[in-house]
Structure 1
Amino acid sequence: MIKVIVVDDERFVRMGIVGETDWASLGCEVVGEAENGLDALELVQKKNPDLMICDIRMPKMNGLEMLKKLREEKNPVQVIFLTAYSEFSYAREALKLYAFDYLLKPFEDGELESAILRAKERIETDRGKQRDTGLSRSVPDKAPVKEQYPGALEGDGPEINAAVIRLCLPFDENTAGLTGYIRDAVLYMASHYGESTINVAKIAGAVGISEGHLSHCFKKETGYTVMGWLTRYRMKKAVELLSDHRNKVYEVAEKVGYKDIAYFSNTFKKIAGVAPSEIQEK
């Protein structure tokens, strides 16, 4: 079993996480709770957890300060941060401290459980490596975002900034489980997102159903409007392009379907929390 502690200064949040999660089915058990970073440090020493689910903004010591101390002590606990604040600086620091994941409150149904299962898989993989090598637990050398951006922690330039935005911009483009025409609509948008004239009518025509039916079913199945999904997909692609400093912002805007750079920049900042130019700052 994976040992878990839950850290949040709001008692009802802790109660919700502990009481409404089917820990047994996840192969986990909650071994303790704390309401601030200082108490969490003591709890870690007593319980030696594998996984911590932790708020960032807390009194006495916030989650980032707490994790920094744990990393200084070479503690390898995996951490899933929960926060109501989509703040660039928070996500950036979380990445540097090798947090496993960063979820924005309120999270969608199943989002926390999915993160826990992925963390559990990582923990069990690390345990296997320890058995094979005979070495003790060590500080994580990779996080999911680190694997997507292998150079992200080597400096303070575009790659780490892009990785941070990926933390702040959760978005699943996987078509597995989608019904036929919804999947077709997603695939069509993924292939034509660079066209500035794409709209619901064109997408509906391409998959052979009415605009109204597509709009209703798409929202019900994915949680996004059709154009909302397209916008997030475009922003995801923009992040990938902006991680290469050779790409100018206006060029990226055009490549992801925006003729108006000001509109692109405003949309990007609204969704990602920072301006596109900030990603490329050294």
Structure 2
Amino acid sequence: MYKALIVDDEKWVINSLLRCVDWSNFFIEIASTATDGIEAYSLAQEIKPDIIITDLRMPGMDGLELIRRYKLVNPDVLTIILSGYDVFSYAQQALRLNVFDYLLKPIDKSNIESVLLRAVSQLNSKNSNTQIPANISTALNDKKVNTYISEIVDYINDYYQDDLTLGTVAEKFHLNPSYLSDLFSKSMGMTFSNYLTGVRIEKATQFLLYTDYSLETIAEKTGFNNYRQFIRAFKRMCSETPSEFRNKNRKEDGDI
């Protein structure tokens, strides 16, 4: 089982998350909960969670500072932010900390379950020697997620830079494209195309922050046909151009 720590200064939010998600179906146990960042940081050092799900604004230590500090202890921890604030500057800071996902409150059950599915898939790929279910559909029985989906998600994450399309991936996994499209949307809560673009944009932000690659090079390395397509997709998802994002968020020497 993967261990998770839930952090929110509103106890009803924690209780709601505990009730609305059948965590065992995701091969996750809630190791502990906390109502502020200071308490959470202390607990995290003790229980060593695989996943931290945290509120953004809390007294004492906010969610971003909690993530920043604990990643110095365990850089591999997977972090998910829950926030009632649709402020892009927060999302930008989250990107710099390599946060796995950023969800706006009120949290929709299908959204959090979709994020957890992707999180478990990523943890599985990083922990191939861990005793985990061989078939993710068993661990996610209530959602009846087909094994193909976890394999396809892993495939996209590994080969996002290639010329992937719904058709080529369907052919790779011996599926009808229409069937794959429907299965993917129902299982992941988003279309195949949106997920693929999201993965590419996430990878692109890392190149923008930590390299001097040109936009043309980044577009090529992240699977876009050309840099114009890359710019359009980035602006659609991030509400600013890649150059604007880089100029505002570029990692300086000594930054975490």
TM-score, normalised relative to structure 2: 0.56
Corresponding residue of 1:21: 21
Corresponding residue of 2:114: 114
Instruction: Confirm or deny that 1:57 pairs with 2:57.
Output: yes
Distance 1:156 1:83, change over 3 A: farther
RMSD: 3.6
Corresponding residue of 2:86: 86
Instruction: Confirm or deny that 1:128 pairs with 2:128.
Output: yes
Distance 1:93 1:158, change over 3 A: farther
The C-alpha deviation readout for 1:209-258, integer Å capped at 9, x for no partner, is xxxxxxxxxxxxxxxxxxxxxxxxxxxxx9942578xxxxxxx9xxxxxx
Report the secondary structure of 1:153's partner residue. Answer: helix
- Aligned residue pair count: 172
Corresponding residue of 1:147: 203
- In 2, distance between residues paired with 1:58 and 1:117? 27
- In 2, distance between residues paired with 1:278 and 1:115? 28
Check conservation: 2:21, 2:109, Cα contact below 8 A. no
- In 2, distance between residues paired with 1:73 and 1:149? 24
1:152-167 equivalences in 2 (<5 Å): 152-154=208-210
1:87 Cα offset (Å) = 1.4
Structure 1 window deviating more from structure 2 (83-92 vs 121-130): it is: 121-130
Distance 1:275 1:149, change over 3 A: closer
Corresponding residue of 1:184: none
Distance 1:104 1:240, change over 3 A: farther
Q: Which has the larger radius of gyration?
A: 1
**What are structure 2's unaligned runs of at least 5 residues?**
132-157, 159-197, 216-227, 249-256
- In 1, distance between residues paired with 2:243 and 2:229? 11
The C-alpha deviation readout for 1:52-110, integer Å capped at 9, x for no partner, is 11111011000101111112224421011110111122111111111111111123331
1:30-49 equivalences in 2 (<5 Å): 30-49=30-49
The C-alpha deviation readout for 1:176-227, integer Å capped at 9, x for no partner, is xxxxxxxxxxxxxxxxxxxxxxxxxxxxxxxxxxxxxxxxxxxxxxxxxxxx
Check conservation: 2:4, 2:52, Cα contact below 8 A. yes
Check conservation: 2:5, 2:52, Cα contact below 8 A. yes
TM-score, normalised relative to structure 1: 0.52
Check conservation: 2:8, 2:36, Cα contact below 8 A. yes
Report the secondary structure of 1:79's partner residue. Answer: strand
Check conservation: 1:86, 1:273, Cα contact below 8 A. no
Distance 1:57 1:156, change over 3 A: farther
Counterpart AA for 2:202: K
Report the secondary structure of 1:32's partner residue. Answer: strand
The C-alpha deviation readout for 1:116-137, integer Å capped at 9, x for no partner, is 1111111111112799xxxxxx
Corresponding residue of 1:2: 2
